[in-house]
Amino acid sequence: MKYLVDFAALALLYVFAFFPRWKIKGRDRLLVNTLMYLYLSFVLYFTLMPIITSIPFVWDHPYKPMNMVPFIDVLEGRGDFFRQVVLNVIMTTPFGFLFPLTGNRAAGFGRTVFACFLMSLGIELLQPLLAGFRSSDITDLITNVIGGALGYGIYMIFRPVTFWILEHLKKRD
């Protein structure tokens, strides 16, 4: 039920705020921005949700500062570090691919990686606030940025095909 409130808020935000603005920009913009919105919604689901129902309880647990020792779990062989590293890279790879397509033509490698860094930093700083059992880690931040850079590399490889598809959609308008 907690997640339903967040998904309802995201759906209403999309339907009443974003969809009308993106639709008038053409099918290509609508497709790319909707894909980015869905992607970010899934990122929120896996990293921060439930959000709305957690807000009243933000101060009910101690805030654990970010672990600032990079790859300490890897170095000490603790837990499922390999899985965590791989999942963090995979999680932000779509961001690196989609961000340059969202209409920001100036979104080169540096701007895309920086935007991925800011998104990841926001998630890492909010995780301990929204639930006492979550923690933030510099390793997650590093691996998320690597994923964004990898996604940008994939974007560059498939850029001609991607722009062909988007131009084809634009012509259908």
pLDDT digit string (tens) for 102-135?
976 678 999 999 999 999 999 999 998 887 677 8
When comparing pLDDT for 136 and 95, which is higher?
A: 95
Answer for the pair 87, 115: CB distance below 8 angstroms, yes or no.
Answer: no
Q: How far is CA 62 from the centre of its chain?
A: 26
Average pLDDT over residues 10-21: 98
Average pLDDT over residues 18-42: 96
173 pLDDT band, cuts 50/70/90, is low
Does pLDDT of 89 surpass 90?
yes
Instruction: Share the mean pLDDT of the chain.
Output: 92
Determine how many CB atoms are found less than 10 A away from the CB of residue 61. Answer: 13
What's the angle, vertex CA 79, arms to CA 77 and CA 83, rounded to 5?
A: 95
CA–CA distance, 108 with 95 (Å, rounded to integer): 13
Structural tokens at position 173: 């308008």
Does pLDDT of 20 surpass 70?
yes
63 pLDDT band, cuts 50/70/90, is confident
SS3 of the chain: helix, strand, coil, percent, to 5: 80, 0, 20
CA–CA distance, 29 with 24 (Å, rounded to integer): 9
